[in-house]
Amino acid sequence: MIVLQELIKQFGPVRAVDGINLEIKEGEIFGFVGPDGAGKTTLIRMMTGILSPTAGNIFILSTPRLELIKGQMGYVPQRFSLYGDLTVMENIRIIGALYGSTGQQLETLATEILSFTNLLPFKDRLADNLSGGMKQKLALSAGLMHKPKVFFLDEPTTGVDPVSRREFWQMLYRLNKEGMTIVVSTPYMDEAELCHRIAFMHNGKIVSCGTPRELKANYPYHVLELSVHNRNIKQLIDLKSILDINAFGEKYHLIVEDCMTATEAIKEKLNKAAIGNYQLREIAPTLEDVFVLLAHEGV
Ligand SMILES: Nc1ncnc2c1ncn2[C@@H]1O[C@H](COP(=O)(O)OP(=O)(O)OP(=O)(O)O)[C@@H](O)[C@H]1O
Ligand SMILES: [Mg+2]
């Protein structure tokens, strides 16, 4: 469906995308994750044909001539790009007309898509007056107006509340079930978990790629979860047997090589500090653990 070969994008001194090779299969939900500036947007914009690569090849639906298959690709950009001073319906009509729908056919399609994205009750509201989540649903609706085969979404749910995010992903799943290939970037690990495969990007490169299950299975360390009401845990259990400590709310993930040795050492430290009310147990690594490690390695 999508093949990227030795893909490079150079902006002056910045190499935003640095030699990417990747294959995305038909029917996949493929996710890109990675820190700010990793190159996700640049990569997605090249795949949609908006940006041309400095070097390398892109094949989508078997052709390198992306201009020929524009009608089969949909794109939701990272920043809202519709008309704020037009209503939901007016925005959708414009997009539909751009793709060649007219008259009754356009009305039927617009109604169908707005009802799919739950925006029909708001069709007469100005886009500027929509909530963040609704704006993203409008962007999604716009991207769907020409029934694309491949749908690119760049951080479509950033800043959107958890309920709307879930609803948004249910829509993506329904579209995928109907056969749409979906390529999405996200800063949220719970969303990364929903993708069939994910690629972790760093400095323009893919440093790890696989199913969420594979990425977690390849994690080279053990994770101990410590639940405790204490903010000084990092200083308190500064032990050699602990490679890293990451806070997740009231819980800490302690990254260790040897669970037994580390557990003993941690218990001793906590006892010495007279901290009795805690829970310490080994847990399976989460995607967040995987990505924290990849980002720290700074590969
Ligand atoms: N048009 C441009 N001109 C110059 N530099 C650019 C341009 N677009 C992106 N860059 C640079 O390329 C790098 C990758 O940016 P990109 O927007 O692709 O990252 P990203 O992974 O999408 O980040 P974010 O998570 O913040 O959206 C950054 O260093 C950015 O400053
Ligand atoms: Mg981006």
Ligand 1 pocket member 9 (CB < 6 A): no
Token pair belonging to 131: 């909530």
Q: Which of 76-80, 151-155, 189-193, 254-258 has the lowest mean pLDDT?
A: 76-80
pLDDT of 33 over the 90 cut: yes
The span from the CA of 91 to the CA of 125, in Å, is 11
pLDDT of 205 over the 90 cut: yes
Residues 194, 85, single domain; the answer is yes
Given pLDDT bands bounded at 50, 70 and 90, which one contains residue 14?
very high
Ligand 2 mean position to 154 CA, how many Å?
7
CATH number at residue 242: 3.30.70.100
From 32, 40, 79, mutation site for ligand 1 pocket: most ligand atoms within 8 A of C-beta = 40
Ligand 1 pocket member 40 (CB < 6 A): yes
Mean of all residue pLDDT scores within the chain: 91
Ligand 1 pocket member 41 (CB < 6 A): yes
More confident residue, 276 or 207: 207
Q: Which residues crowd ion ligand 2, with CB under 5 Å?
A: 40-41, 78
Residues 246, 160, single domain; the answer is no
Residues 93, 182, single domain; the answer is yes
pTM: 0.89
Residues 79, 209, single domain; the answer is yes
**19 assigned to some structural domain:** no
Residues 138, 78, single domain; the answer is yes
State residue 298's pLDDT score: 59
Ligand 1 mean position to 206 CA, how many Å?
15
pLDDT of 25 over the 70 cut: yes
Residues 262, 204, single domain; the answer is no
